[in-house]
Structure 1
Amino acid sequence: MQLTAFAKEKKNINGIEFLDSEHAEKVLSFHKSFPMYKETPLVELKRMANFLGVKDFFVKDESYRFGLNAFKVLGGSFAIGSYIAKKLGMDISELPFKKMISPEIREKLGKITFVTATDGNHGRGVAWTARQLGQKAVVYMPKGSSKERFANIKAEGADVTITDLNYDDAVRLANSNADKYGWVMVQDTSWEGYQDIPKWIIQGYGTMALEAYKQLPKKPTHIFIQAGVGALAGAVTGFFANVYKGADKPVVTIVEPNTAACIFDTAKAADGKLHFVGGSMKTMMAGLACGEPCDVGWKVLESYADFAISCADSVSAKGMRALGAPLLGDQRIISGESGAVPSGAVMELLSKPQYADLCKQIGLDKNSVVLCFSTEGATDLCNYRAIVWDGKEASCAE
C-alpha cells in the first residue's frame, strides 16, 4: 500500500454547505418517503477492534439498502427526484415518493429516458428508480462487466449494454447519446456544464452518512472511505466536516485500487490539477475502476480530506474474508469487492509491521475510533465465492 497526504495548507477552503446536516435531513426525508426505505445497520466490531489494537471499529453495512445490495440508489434516486422537481418548478420536499408516482405528476412529466454508465450498482439504482416512476432507463457498462450485475440491471426493465469501452469512455458514450436523443444523463462524474445532477447525486449519498452519524455511540476519530470518481468520498467527507468543525473533524483517508488511483494521484501531485488514469484499469474493485475525478467531489476532498491510500486487490480481498468470517462474537458482514477495501486497508495497516510508520502518520493508535463504509454486498456472487471460499487474491500476493 502507498500513502499520500493531501496538502496541509489548504488556502482556498471550498464551500461544503450543500452537504451540511440541514441538507442531509432533507435528503433523508425524501428517501424515507419510499415505502421500501429502512435504515441500514451500523455494525460495531468490538473483537476486531481489540485484535487490531484500536478503541473501536464500526462498519456501515449498505448491503441492505432498498433491497438492491448497494448504496448507489441513494444518489441516483435523489438526483432523479431533484431533476423532476426542477422540471416541474417544485422543491424536492414537495415531491415525496407517493406524489411522484401519482397520475397527476406522470401526466405533467410525460415520458423521460434516463441514461447512465456504470459497472453495476449505480446503473441498477437508476434503472430501479426509473421503473418505480414508470420511466425508461438506458445503461452502458464497461468492458468486462459482471454478467450478474448486467442481469440485475436488465431485471429492472432497463435497456442495458456491455460495451467494449473502459468506464470513462462509457460515460462519454452515455453523454453523447443523451445529447443525440434528448435523454437525461444521470452520472456522478462532473464536468463544465454538467454540475447539477452530480451535485444532487453527492447529496443523495448523504443519507448514508447522516444515518451513520445518528447511529454512532461515540465520535469517530478516523474515517476510511473508498473512491471511484470521488463523489461518495466527497459526500461523506463533506458531511462529517460540517458536523465536526475544524480540529474536531475525524481524520479522513481515501482508499482506491492502485490501478485506478485518480484521487491518490491528484492529491500526490498537489498542483491544483485533476490527474486522470487511462487504459483498462484492471481491478476486481469494479465500482472503483474510474480514472477521472469528479470535480465537485474533488473540491470537497481537496479542502477536507487528509490522506489517500492506493492498494492492491488483495487488500480488499482481506477485508471481504475478515468481514465475512469475523472474530467470534462480532457480527458477520457480507461485503463485496468495492465495499470491503476500507476495512481491508485498516486491517493491513494495523496488523503488518511494515505499515507502522503509515499508522503513525495517520494517527491510528489505541485511542482510535474507526468508521468504514461497506458500500455493497456480494453483487458478483461468483467472484465473491472465488475470493472468500477459494482464496483468490490472497493477502500474501501483495
Structure 2
Amino acid sequence: MICVIENNNFSLRDVKQTPYISSWDPKEVADFHETIGNKETPLVKLPGLAKRLGIGSLLLKDESHRFGLNAFKALGASYAMYRQIEKNPQIKTFCTATDGNHGRAVAWMARKLGRKAFIYMPQGTVSDRARAIEQEGADVFVINQAYDIAVKMASTRVDEANKKLGNHFWSLIQDTAWDGYEEVPLDIMKGYWTQIHEITRQIGKEKIDVLFLQTGVGSWAASIIGYIMKEWQNPPACISVEPHSA
C-alpha cells in the first residue's frame, strides 16, 4: 500500500529567505570535502528502467563509492565535526546515536582527526553494522531500547563528561535536532550540499522534472530541497519516500 501526503503549506519564497539557507555557500562545503579526499560519485543513467516506466530519462546518484564507506552520511558528519573542532580545538571525543551509517561516518572522521568516538546503537541493531563502526576505532554501545533512548543516552553522556571535566572536551554529533540543539544538525545538513552540488554540475543543462528522496530522519531530504530551491532556476517536483515500517 502506498500512502501519499501532499504538502499544501510549502512556500518557495519562505525557503529562499530562511537564514541558514540563504547564507550557505556550497563551494565552501565542497572545497572542505576535497581536503579530506572526497571524490565525486557517479550519476548513473538507467535507460532500460526509464523505457520500462515510459519516461524519457532516469538518473541515480550512486553513493556506494563515497569515502569507501558505501554511504553519503560522511558528507554531513565530517563537515559538522570539522566545524566543531574549528570552534573548539580542545575536543577529544565525539559521541552520537545511530542506526548505522551516521555512526560509522562519525567514527571514520574521528579517526581521521585523531579523536575518540563513542557510538550508541538501538535495540535490534544488525551486528555487521556495529562491527563496521568498531573497525573504525569507535567504542560501540548497543542498548536494549529504542533509537530515541539511544539519542538521549548519547546526549547525557556528553553532558556528564563535560560537566565532570569542566570543559567542552566532548561533542555530540547528532543528525536529529531539538530545542537548544540546532547548530550541529544544521552543519550536518550543510555538509550534504556537496552531494547535490555534484549533481548540479553533472546534469548540466538537463531539466529534472521529478526528484525522489528518501526521508530517514529528514535532515538529508530537507538539505537537498533547500539547495535546489536556492540554487536551481527551475526546481522540480520533490517527492519524499519512506517505508511504512520506518
Question: What corresponds to 1:32 in structure 2?
Answer: 34
Indicate yes or no: 2:167 matched with 1:166. Answer: no
Pick closer, same or farther for the CA change 1:9–1:126 going to 2, 3 Å: closer
Q: Secondary structure at the match of 2:192?
A: helix
1:258 aligned partner, one-letter code: H
1:130-149 maps to which residues of 2 (within 5 A)? 130-149=110-129
Does the 8 Å CA contact 1:16/1:238 hold for their aligned counterparts? Answer: no
Does the 8 Å CA contact 2:85/2:91 hold for their aligned counterparts? Answer: no
Task: State which structure, 1 or 2, has the greater radius of gyration over its C-alpha atoms.
Answer: 1
Q: For residues 16 and 221 of structure 1, what CA distance do their matches in structure 2 show?
A: 24
Q: For residues 34 and 151 of structure 2, what CA distance do their matches in structure 1 show?
A: 30
1:151-300 maps to which residues of 2 (within 5 A)? 151-182=131-162, 183-217=170-204, 218-245=206-233, 248-260=234-246
1:116 aligned partner, one-letter code: T
Does the 8 Å CA contact 1:19/1:206 hold for their aligned counterparts? Answer: no
How far the C-alpha of 1:17 sits from its partner, in A, is: 5.4
Pick closer, same or farther for the CA change 1:50–1:135 going to 2, 3 Å: same
1:134-177 alpha-carbon deviations (Å, 9 max, x no partner)? 10000001111111111110011101011112112211111111
Pick closer, same or farther for the CA change 1:46–1:21 going to 2, 3 Å: farther
Q: For residues 21 and 56 of structure 1, what CA distance do their matches in structure 2 show?
A: 33
Question: What corresponds to 1:75 in structure 2?
Answer: 76
Does the 8 Å CA contact 2:211/2:237 hold for their aligned counterparts? Answer: yes
Q: For residues 90 and 154 of structure 2, what CA distance do their matches in structure 1 show?
A: 22
Does the 8 Å CA contact 2:120/2:150 hold for their aligned counterparts? Answer: yes
2:236 aligned partner, one-letter code: P
Q: For residues 207 and 144 of structure 2, what CA distance do their matches in structure 1 show?
A: 45
Q: For residues 10 and 176 of structure 2, what CA distance do their matches in structure 1 show?
A: 27
Q: For residues 152 and 63 of structure 1, what CA distance do their matches in structure 2 show?
A: 15
Does the 8 Å CA contact 1:17/1:242 hold for their aligned counterparts? Answer: no
Pick closer, same or farther for the CA change 1:197–1:40 going to 2, 3 Å: same
How far the C-alpha of 1:9 sits from its partner, in A, is: 6.0
TM-score, with length taken from structure 1: 0.57
Pick closer, same or farther for the CA change 1:208–1:20 going to 2, 3 Å: farther
Q: For residues 30 and 23 of structure 2, what CA distance do their matches in structure 1 show?
A: 10
Where do 5+ consecutive residues of structure 2 fail to align? 163-169
Does the 8 Å CA contact 1:226/1:233 hold for their aligned counterparts? Answer: yes
Q: Secondary structure at the match of 2:14?
A: coil
1:33 aligned partner, one-letter code: T
Q: For residues 67 and 11 of structure 1, what CA distance do their matches in structure 2 show?
A: 36
Does the 8 Å CA contact 1:141/1:162 hold for their aligned counterparts? Answer: yes
Question: What corresponds to 1:42 in structure 2?
Answer: 43
RMSD between aligned alpha carbons? 1.8
How far the C-alpha of 1:21 sits from its partner, in A, is: 9.4
Q: For residues 126 and 216 of structure 2, what CA distance do their matches in structure 1 show?
A: 17
TM-score, with length taken from structure 2: 0.91
